Structures are given as structure tokens and as C-alpha cells.
Amino acid sequence: MTERHKVVIIGGGFGGLYAAQSLRRAPVEVTLVDRRNFHLFQPLLYQVATGELSPSEVASPLRHILHRSSNTRVLLAEAADLDPRRRRLRLKDGEELPYDTLVVAAGSQNHYFGNHSWERYAPGLKTIEDATWIRHKILYAFEAAERETDPARRRSWLTFVIVGGGPTGVELAGALGEIANDVLKSDFRSIRPEESQILLVEAGDRLLDAYDAKLSRAAEKALIGLGVRARLGTRVTAIDDQGITVQAAPGAGRIESRTVIWAAGVKGSAFGGVIAERTGAERDRGGRIIVTEDCSVPGYPEIFVIGDLANYRDETGKSLPGVAAVAMQQGRYVAGVIGKRLKGERAGRFHYCDKGSLAVIGRAEAVAQFGRFRFEGYVAWLLWLFVHLMYLVSFQNRLLVFIRWAYDYFTYSRGARLITGPIEEQGEATAPVRDVVEAGELGKRNT
């Protein structure tokens, strides 16, 4: 028996998982390496942050998803280095994995454009820990406001700032608007949650700039109905534990807020740096690897980079967006290329089939864009529900999420409103816990 072709995949997100699944019947030996034991359905992560869903409802164990793929092994490990000449991937614990083909689908991370200190005050929304930490911050802000007697400080607890008017920012702002206006309505005695101020700060001149201008306006209008104010043309120049400083058309300004959430940008994950260094591949300003027309690294046809970490330019020279659909299609595509190469066939270039974009704003409110068609309101919302339920990997999660949504729709409630982890004391800095979680490190009190 000759040794099988070894495929190593880094990352169990949409790109890596779809690649592994598509290789299920190929005569190859697949190893999927991920730092986490689960696949995360990132499009619904904002609902974990706002207490609508539980972490386990938007995540499924990778082992379980792949347990019938007998040619696939899942390793809970972190990729640390690469030797492209010897074709070996080194893991953080020192183990070396030999490969014949490497698929890098390591995803993206929050991008603060060099302002590292902002991260501790304005968490982004990339991981389960980010989401539970944001949930903690949001719910704790209402609790702190309930106990605060000083009006200015209370106001600052009840002011929520979301930086970035893309789909994540819009969806978070809408969900926050619903919490403040409906969900928490009768829960407090000293404050009225509906008096919260929710600000969506965007540097550009409209929300959802990847969408049609008509839909941007519809989204803004729907957000106003939920009590969310969009501050367009407003650039953030500083973030600290008491609020943000902005630069807008009339001049600089200050917004006092204890809860700032970052949705303004992502960049390629750190492993992109290793690839660039070891293969000489070029990276764009967002740290993404510029790949060839078959998603491989120039000069290394056996190394593919897909998903959020890749900058793929289509026939017109335009870079594809960092969305789940691109990653899925690239995952399936490289699986096909690997299969063809084993048969000695040549593969054509990758083609992205844009099936459209969807963003939900609130109860029965969404915007959608499919080719020449644009929808808003109820129809777009139903489409959104349907598409998101269908793409959830596990059937059990599909069922549970459906029930949560139906229940919450009819009762205006949110079931997953737990503040877990260390309880933040009023006035104490919020950063250290996040540092621990983000860095994946173990800790002890440092104050």
C-alpha cells in the first residue's frame, strides 16, 4: 500500500470545514488543525453578544461534524511555523506535521489600525469569548446604571457606542435597540432602559457601504425606529475607559460611554505573517495574502490560502469580500483542485458566485440584495431567517435556534441574558479579563 496524499488544513471556520467535508471521499488523508474544538457560525455571533442565543447554539464540535469522514483527523492545536521547502507545519507544542498539500484558512482578527490600547476598551466580535464578554459589558451597564445615583455617570452607563457601520455594526446596533426598548422594559426600578442612547459611529457617509444606497437609507430608517442614531462621517480618534473622542465635519467631540464595541474592521490572522515570511508572498494592507487565480500562494502551488486570510482578485481585478460565502466556495474549490491534481488533471481558476447579501436590523426588519433585486422589511427578514437557519451546521442547533427565535419573537424576551465570569466592579477597568481570554493565557490578579 502506498502512502496517501496528506492534506493539512489550518482552521475549522467556513473555508477549512467546507474543504475538509468536500475531501471526504477523496483518496487523501486529511488533518484539520484548529485552536478550538468547534466550528463557529460567525454570522450569528452578534446574537450571543446580545443575549438571544447561547454559545453552544452557534457552535458545533468539529469532531462531531466530521466524525463520519473516516479519512479526516481533527487536532486541537495551534499552527506556529511553516517550512515550505520540507513541507512541514510546526505546531505550537513542537510537533511537526508533514503535508503534501496545505490549506490555510486561518481567518481574520479585529483590526484597530495600530491603536492597540483601544482593544481593552472596545472589544470586537470575533470569538465566543468576545461575544460573552460583550454580553457581560452590555448587561452589566444596565445593572450599574440601576445602582448609580449621579446623573452624568448614569448617563454614561446608559450610552452604548458601536464603532463601524458595516453589517456587524448594524446588526449589533439593532439588537441593542431591541434589548433597551422591549426586552428590559419592566425589569428595572430606578432606570428606564428605553432612555438608553445607542450610537452607531461610521467614518463613511453611509451605513452598509457594500449595499445599494437605497438599502443603506432603509437600514438607517429602521435603526431610528429602534432608537439607534447613526453618526455618519464621524471618525474615532481616541477610545478610553470613559468613552470616545471623535472627529466629525463640525469639529472634534467627546461621547461619554462605558460600553464601546468595535465593529470597524478586521485583518488577516497572525499566521498570515508566517506564510508571508516563509514563502515571500505579498500581503495587502489588511494583512491578507494575495493569492493566485487558483487560490494558491505564488510559487507554491501546494499551499492554498482561502477565506478571510486570502485576498483573491476576480477577473475584473476586484478583491472578493471577507464573507462566509466566499470562504465556503473557496473551500469546496480547493478540494476539487486537489482531487483533479491527483488524477493528473488541470483545474480552472476560481469563480465566485455571489448569491447576495443580507443584514438584519430588528424584528421583521432586514435588507437584502440579490443581483439586481433589492428587498427591505419583512420579506428580507424572512429570507434572512431562512438562510441563516439552513446554514447552521447541526440539526439540533437549527431546531434550538428556531425555537429561541420564535419564542423571543412572540414574547419580546431574551433567554441567554447571563452575566458570567468575574463580576466587574463599578469603575474598575474592564480590560484585564479580556486580555486573559484573548491571549489564550492563564492568569492571576494584577491590580
36 binds its own copies (CB under 8 A): yes
Interface region with its own copies, contact rule CB under 8 A, candidates 209-217, 290-298, 348-356, 403-411: 403-411
Minimum CB separation of residue 213 from its own copies in Å reads 39
**Toward its own copies, which CB reaches closer, 140 or 271?**
140
116 binds its own copies per the rule CB under 8 A? no
Residue of 225, 227, 336, 432 that binds its own copies (CB under 8 A) = 432
Catalytic one of 171, 202, 220, 365:
171
**Closest separation between CB of residue 411 and its own copies, Å?**
8
Nearer to its own copies, 173 or 401 (CB): 401
Cell of 50: 446580545
Name the H helices within 122-270.
128-147, 151-157, 167-178, 213-225
* Choice from 210, 213, 224, 403 touching its own copies (CB under 8 A): 403
Q: State the Cα–Cα distance between residues 127 and 73, nearest whole angstrom.
A: 23
DSSP state of 184: T
Residue 437 binds its own copies, judged by CB under 8 A: yes
Is residue 265 within 8 A of residue 257, CB to CB? The reply is: no
Catalogue the E-assigned strands of 306-407: 310-311, 357-362, 365-370, 373-376
Told to check if 439 binds its own copies by CB under 8 A, we report yes
Compute the distance between CA of residue 73 and CA of residue 39 in angstroms, rounded to an integer.
15
Residue closer to its own copies, measured from CB, 12 or 322: 12
Work out which of 6, 55, 80, 238 binds its own copies, going by CB under 8 A.
55
Rule CB under 8 A: say whether 76 interacts with its own copies.
Answer: yes
Q: How far is the CB of 265 from its own copies (least distance, A)?
A: 25
Q: Which is nearer to its own copies, 298 or 415 (CB)?
A: 415
Query: What Å distances lie between residue 86 and 81, 99, 280, 305, CA to CA?
Result: 12, 9, 16, 18
Strand partners, 284: none
Nearer to its own copies, 238 or 419 (CB): 419
DSSP assignment string, 367-392: EEEETTEEEETHHHHHHHHHHHHHH-
Give 289's Cβ-side CA count (13 Å radius): 33
| C-beta separation of 176 from 160 below 8 A | yes
Shortest distance, position 420 Cβ to its own copies, whole Å: 5
Contact code string over 132-171 relative to its own copies, x by CB under 8 A:
x------xx--x--xx------------------------
List phi, psi (to 5°) of 283. Answer: -120, 150
Q: Which helix (H) or strand (E) holds 258?
A: none
| Annotation marks residue 78 as catalytic | no
CA dist 106 and 149 (Å) reads: 47
Using CB under 8 A, which of 85, 189, 285, 343 touches its own copies? 189
Could you give the angle at the alpha carbon of 69 between the alpha carbons of 63 and 70, nearest 5°? 105
Report the residue number, 316 or 420, with the smaller CB distance to its own copies: 420
Which residue number, 348 or 422, has a Cβ lying nearer to its own copies?
422
Chosen residue from 67, 221, 318, 340 binding its own copies by CB under 8 A: 67
Least Å distance between CB 234 and its own copies?
32
Examine residue 80 and tell whether it contacts its own copies (CB under 8 A).
Answer: no
| Residue of 270, 262, 396 whose CA lies nearest to 11 | 270
Using CB under 8 A, pick the residue from 129, 182, 308, 376 that binds its own copies. Answer: 129
Options 83, 95, 205, 209; binder of its own copies; rule CB under 8 A: 95
Query: Do residues 106 and 65 lie in contact, with contact meaning Cβ atoms separated by under 8 Å?
Result: no
* Positions marked catalytic: 171
